[in-house]
Structure 1
Amino acid sequence: MLPRWARAAAHPGRAAEVVRALASFSNGATLVRAYLHLAEPAYPFTLRARSGAVVRVESWHDAATAWVVFCRQEYAVPEKALCIVDVGANWGAFTLYAARRAPNARVFSVEPHPHEHPRLLRNVANNGLGARVTVWRHAVAAEPGMRWMDADPAHPSPSRGIHPANAASPPASVQVEAVTLAQVLDRARDVAGVPSIDLVKMDIEGAEHEVLPHLPPEALASVNAWQMEYHPNGPKAPLFAALQRAGLRLVRDDESTPDSGVAHFRR
């Protein structure tokens, strides 16, 4: 089996991603070396965008998240967007990217984890985005209430999700407050004072299989575009069907393995 750096380097479009890293960040070479495992940087380090944005990178997993958002541009943000919702924001890579790409947008960033939520708040503050980015500390689930979330420090922070609803106090877990997707979307529209949401980005580490399949179509009636990472703890077909019932059409599906990837939908 090829080492991870070789698999990363062989990814289609890698040369363009490297060029984008070097063009986007004044210390982009550090990110390239870190992500491709060409050299181990001294973590943490501060990634400095030429646009003025700053990101504290604490681990290889942070470097990988920064890479897929800023260099691979896994998500597409409409520049004229006025309302964007980031569900499963983690430490805020997409939130920062979206706020820069859509300078007139209100961004609502949803992250429940007790380690990542403070980091998200710091990144928003350090980039002077407090007036445009609103951060909510919630998990998103099929039903509101208290849920258990993975808090094992041995697990990469981007991979920590909520446990199934019937799980009783799993080891290395923390309780978080869950709300429904409809509650998040309604609140975002009300706070932003807009009739529709230009883009929802979702990455909730497998909980999409709980949230989406039985979601009433009207819950997404105000969403113009939907982009999500979907995970292999369930088939993708019911997820896609739920979005299509709501009038969203699939325009791009970057499948990495069967039933995992990033999908883009648009009304």
Structure 2
Amino acid sequence: MPPRWIRALRHAPEVPRALQRFENYGELLRAYVRPGSAAFPLELRMRSGWRLTVRDGHDAATAWVIFCRQEYDVPLRARCIVDIGANFGAFSLYAAGRAPWARIVSLEPHPDEYPRLRDHVAANGLADRITPMQLAVAAEAGHRWMDADPAHPGPSRGIHPPTEGEQPAESVPVRAVTLMEALDRARAVTGADRIALVKMDIEGAEHEILPDLHPDTLYDVDAWAMEYHPNGPKAPLFAALERAGLRLVRDVEAHPNSGVAHFRRM
């Protein structure tokens, strides 16, 4: 592993971006670097006038990597963006700022996080551009269970594997749709012929959805960005996207089979 100072240099551009985007960038930096020293909940005040409330260090880290590290590439001329696993709405707001002509459909199933997503959209006057939907995406549509263990951070809660047994401990029921249905809904809401970007962060459920995905599902998707998780190998995920005509352009691997990958239709 590279020395700590080299790793720190890699992230040096993030601090100026924080200063550029947030009025209270110092509070965000402290909440990200030393969350125990920060007072939560913390309202992040963007220079655009938008507001985003983070309730713990995990939320602060999410806001930092999206707005300051720019973990996801957003096409500036995008007209339709789909945010799968929107959580409290950090990426949806970031995408709305980066792509001013885009309409965004944001899917978040968890009953703790969905109201925060909806409230952030409404409070920032973005209801005409961002459409929240309380839905999970899974291999098959229907009823599923989602992690609700209070010991687990909100951004890390995923859906449980399919089961016909009893409700898993520390879980809540959620409604799931297939990826095809999610994209169909996005096209219907936005009226777009093509989807400029799908961002996916669903805490490991990508291993349920992508390996056997029919290539035609993504026929009108021009770019795909996803956080992939180590509950399965990344190779089948990447292969499914390649079969759909999307080519890997950047893979930032944090650990084996864990990272953020960017694909684009060539």
Q: The TM-score by the shorter chain falls in which range?
A: over 0.9
1:12 Cα deviation from its structure 2 partner: 4.9
Q: Give the Cα–Cα distance (whole angstroms) in 2 for the partners of residues 11 and 265 of structure 1.
A: 27
Matches within 5 A, 1:88-127: 88-127=85-124
Show the counterpart of 2:190: 192
Cα distance in 2, alignment partners of residues 96 and 236 from structure 1: 28
Q: Retained in 1: the 8 A contact 2:104–2:131?
A: yes
> 2:68 aligned with 1:74, yes or no?
no
Shift of 1:232: 0.1
Partner amino acid for 1:119? R
Residue type of the partner of 1:31? L
The counterpart of 2:214, out of the listed 216, 225, 229, is: 216
SS in 1 for 2:12: helix
Checking the alignment, whether the CA contact within 8 Å between 2:35 and 2:56 is kept in structure 1 is no
Partner of 2:19: 22
Alignment of 1:220-259 (within 5 A): 220-259=218-257
Mapped to 2, the partners of 1:12 and 1:197 lie a distance apart of 35
Change (3 A) 1:196 1:8: farther
**Cα shift at 1:52:** 1.3
| Residue 202 (str. 1) matches residue 200 (str. 2) | yes
- Give unpaired runs (5+ residues) of structure 2: none
Write the distance in 2 (CA, Å) between the matches of 1:235 and 1:159: 19
Identify the residue that residue 175 of structure 1 maps to in structure 2: 173
Q: Contact 2:249–2:264 at 8 Å: present in 1 too?
A: yes
Runs of 4+ with deviation above 3 angstroms: 6-12
The structural deviation recorded for 1:7 is 6.7
The alignment status of 1:136 with 2:124, answered yes or no, reads no
Offset, 1:166: 2.3
TM-score, normalisation: structure 1: 0.95
**Are the counterparts in 1 of residues 158 and 203 from structure 2 also a CA contact under 8 Å?**
yes
User: Could you tell me whether the CA contact under 8 Å between 2:80 and 2:192 is conserved in 1?
Assistant: yes
The 3 A distance-change label for structure 1 pair 45 and 219 is same
State how far apart, in whole Å, the 1-side matches of 2:202 and 2:160 are.
11
User: Is the contact between residue 8 and residue 36 of structure 1 (CA under 8 Å) also seen in structure 2?
Assistant: no
Give the letter aligned to residue 250 of structure 1: L
SS of the aligned residue for 1:176 comes to strand
Q: Is the 8 A contact 1:148 1:167 kept in 2?
A: no
Distance 2:257 2:99 in 1: 30
CA shift digits 1:223-261 (9 cap, x unpaired): 000000000000000000000000000000000000000
How far apart are residue 150 of structure 1 and its match?
A: 0.1
Change (3 A) 1:125 1:102: same
**1-structure distance, mates of 2:158, 2:229:** 11
Task: State the Cα distance separating 1:63 from its structure 2 match.
Answer: 0.3
Structure 1's unaligned 5+ residue stretches are: 1-5
CA contact (8 A) 2:76 2:100 kept: yes
Q: What secondary structure sits across from 2:109 in the alignment?
A: coil
Cα RMSD, aligned residues only: 1.6
- Aligned partner of 1:3 in structure 2 is none
1:181 to 1:33, Cα distance in 2 relative to 1, 3 A: same
Q: Cα offset for 1:174?
A: 0.5
| Paired position in structure 2 for 1:163 | 160
Q: Counterpart amino acid of 2:18?
A: A
Q: Deviations over 1:48-73 (max 9, x none)?
A: 11111111111000100000000000
- SS of the equivalent of 2:253 reads strand
Rounded to whole Å, the distance in 2 between the matches of 1:127 and 1:77 is 20
Percent of matched pairs sharing the same residue: 64
- Aligned mates of 1:233, 1:167 — CA distance in 2: 21
- 1:32 CA drift (Å): 0.8
